[in-house]
Structure 1
Amino acid sequence: MFFNHNKNKIITIIIHKNPDGDALGSSLALMIYFRKLNYNVNLISPTNYSEYYSWLPGIKNIIVLSDNNKFFVKKKILDSDYIFLVDLNNFSRIGELKEFIKNSKSKKILIDHHPYPLNFDIMFHDSNAPATSILVFRFISNMNNLSKIDKDIATCLYVGLMTDTGYFRFPSINSETHFIASILMKKGINIYKIYNQLQENYNENKLKLLSIALKNLKIIKKYNIAYTSIRSSDIFYPYQQGDVDGIINYGLSIKNITFSVFFFEEKKNYPIKISFRSKGKLDVNLFARKYFSGGGHKNAAGGIIKKSLSETIKYFLHIIPIFYKNFNF
């Protein structure tokens, strides 16, 4: 064990901007676990999280960076003895926290499953793992502390597992995935409640935005691509982070479609956020890294571009034949 067993040592857990279910689930599980061991633990996010995850155990303990608490957050990070970077592979995903962490003399530990990670002091990394929650489970297991996993930790890990495997349907899942899920189930988690909170708890705005995205859906039959978009003027208020989550998956559910793209203009004159999903050998991580300053996994990635929405789509349509020709998809 690389920890000094002095419980006065300070641990800080960092997650990426706009944290998803795996980032929240894996980091919350780690936070609760360390607190059960009586460590002094902080969990910091560079941006707020979606209200759709507000029911997760321990989530109110997340310190969200804001203009009002930058000095407080900076001190927390600089005072840390250990910093865990969870579900992220580089500093570009943590915004302003990047400089605080770089200036910290703490030991930095990565727990992540995204490809091409930066090197940190200690690496718990496996790009073949379907979720970072798997790696947190392995981490706890390697410490011979599986008995410390209670219902709250199990709930958090299961949420990470469910969301990053597309509810156990992505090709990345394997026997270990289901084995870990079965152990978590034995901790008394309420699978129905978890599914209901994640998939049957939508607000009216989310469905309205989905209807707009479906109306805007276009197909490129030559390349088996479906793409859609939402403009800032389409957004209903009160809008909350998470209202467009899942839209990307509808394109990929169409027969013969192997590449789905969602363009999102969250605010006027802001960079366009883009989500990519694929089936089979088509590598959207490569596509996102090459053309949209992004990345992720082979079949699920994201990116951004500083253009208008119409310019972004025009650029996308221009590079598609080039990409398919060069990479023989």
Structure 2
Amino acid sequence: MLFSNINGKNKKKIVLFPHNNPDGDALGSSLALFFYLRKLKHDVDLISPTEYSEFFQWLPGIDKILIFSEKTKYLVKKKIINADYIFFIDFNNFSRINNISDLFSYSKAKKVLIDHHPFPFYFDFMFSDPTVAATSILVFRFISDMNNLDKIDKNIATCLYVGLMTDTGYFRFPSITSETHFIAGKLIEKGIDINFIYHHLQEKYNENRLILLSKALNNLKIIKKYRTAYTSIKTSDINFYSYKQGDTEGIITYGLGIKNIVFSVLFFEEKKKFPIKISFRSKGNFDVNMFARKHFGGGGHKNAAGGTSERSLSESIKYFLKTIHNYYIHLLTSSI
């Protein structure tokens, strides 16, 4: 029914939402779907619940995104009320867009989920598969299932490829399958500029990003017994005149690069705001999704997750160090 309605001749009002602080996969998959649905002649709006990182300012169509704010709240509410379909992309429960979730009570639109995280809430239509490496894969499948792969142009392919690259750690993570590379190959056939994409994702650092990296490496602590590395960035480490969302991207992976380390954690304190933001990464079979859910009200994937803490930075770290004692066997036996 969804495919026939979207693929049909009747123009629909469609609104797309990625999660708060959208990353490369959330933005890439949302923008790709935005371009695709517009090719089908629908009235499409892409709304981000929060600002996105300037790190992604070069993405095709990024200027088409409407940012939710007090200034745009009425306009966003109007678009939600008038929508025929609302797509929720790269997240599966409303806690990831908690600043606007109340607005959906005004909507009679059909709700569509496209996401690869575990334990989804219920939606009217669900394209959910936690085994895939990125939501961009599910958007590619969505287009393929509608027999419209010919509608993927260079812009759509670029956006999907960014989602693949960022959520697979540049094709390094264990969630990668032959399908991941098959889709990447199909996107390359559309004429995307891989060198251009890689340059903007990996080789275009600003000075502040490198300063934050040096602070994080200086604060790095290793607990060999638990095969764990953790670090923190506190308010005094940040130059807020030049700091931009996304400047901490990739810092957490340095801990996992240390020999025999299977668990890496980054604590981030921004302007003394609570909660403290926490990122978790792991190797092998240590499940950081379950760890984040149980102890820090978060979640994500088996090897990549996030959470928060209402404690101070120092108390958050103390609590973390207390909790990992219960995971000694899990960490000791986790394969690399």
If the TM-score is normalised by the length of the shorter chain, which range does it land in?
A: over 0.9
Pick from 280, 298, 313 the counterpart of residue 302 of structure 2. 298
| 2:296/2:309 contact within 8 Å kept | yes
Q: Which moved more, 1:3-12 or 1:251-260?
A: 3-12
Alpha-carbon distance in structure 1 between the residues aligned to 2:236 and 2:182: 45
Pick from 284, 307, 311 the counterpart of residue 288 of structure 2. 284
For 1:230-258, what per-residue CA distance to the aligned partner results, in whole angstroms no more than 9, with x for missing partners? Answer: 00111012211001111110001111100
Pick from 239, 260, 264 the counterpart of residue 260 of structure 1. 264
| 1:12/1:44 contact within 8 Å kept | yes
Give the drift of 1:93.
0.1
Kindly indicate whether residue 194 of structure 2 is the aligned counterpart of residue 198 of structure 1: no
Alpha-carbon distance in structure 1 between the residues aligned to 2:273 and 2:22: 23
Give the drift of 1:97.
1.8
Give the drift of 1:328.
8.3
Alpha-carbon distance in structure 1 between the residues aligned to 2:66 and 2:185: 31
Q: Which moved more, 1:271-280 or 1:7-16?
A: 7-16
Determine the structure 2 residue equivalent to 1:91: 94
Alpha-carbon distance in structure 2 between the residues aligned to 1:324 and 1:13: 42
Determine the structure 2 residue equivalent to 1:146: 149
For 1:27-53, what per-residue CA distance to the aligned partner results, in whole angstroms no more than 9, with x for missing partners? Answer: 000000011111000001110100110
Alpha-carbon distance in structure 1 between the residues aligned to 2:233 and 2:83: 41
Kindly provide the amino acid, as one letter, of the partner of residue 302 in structure 2: K
Deviation beyond 2 Å, 4+ runs, structure 1? 4-8, 323-329
Kindly indicate whether residue 118 of structure 2 is the aligned counterpart of residue 118 of structure 1: no
| 1:7/1:40 contact within 8 Å kept | no
| 1:82/1:109 contact within 8 Å kept | yes
Determine the structure 2 residue equivalent to 1:220: 223
Flag structure 2 segments of 5+ consecutive residues without an equivalent: none
Determine the structure 2 residue equivalent to 1:17: 20
For 1:179-200, what per-residue CA distance to the aligned partner results, in whole angstroms no more than 9, with x for missing partners? Answer: 0000000000000000000000
Alpha-carbon distance in structure 1 between the residues aligned to 2:160 and 2:330: 39
| 1:269/1:308 contact within 8 Å kept | no
Give the drift of 1:96.
2.1
Alpha-carbon distance in structure 2 between the residues aligned to 1:153 and 1:324: 45
Flag structure 1 segments of 5+ consecutive residues without an equivalent: none
Q: How many residues align?
A: 329
Alpha-carbon distance in structure 1 between the residues aligned to 2:280 and 2:4: 38
For 1:12-39, what per-residue CA distance to the aligned partner results, in whole angstroms no more than 9, with x for missing partners? Answer: 0011000000000000000000111110
Determine the structure 2 residue equivalent to 1:168: 171
| 1:272/1:309 contact within 8 Å kept | yes
Two-structure CA RMSD over aligned residues (Å):
1.3
| 1:17/1:93 contact within 8 Å kept | yes
Alpha-carbon distance in structure 2 between the residues aligned to 1:285 and 1:24: 22
Determine the structure 2 residue equivalent to 1:178: 181
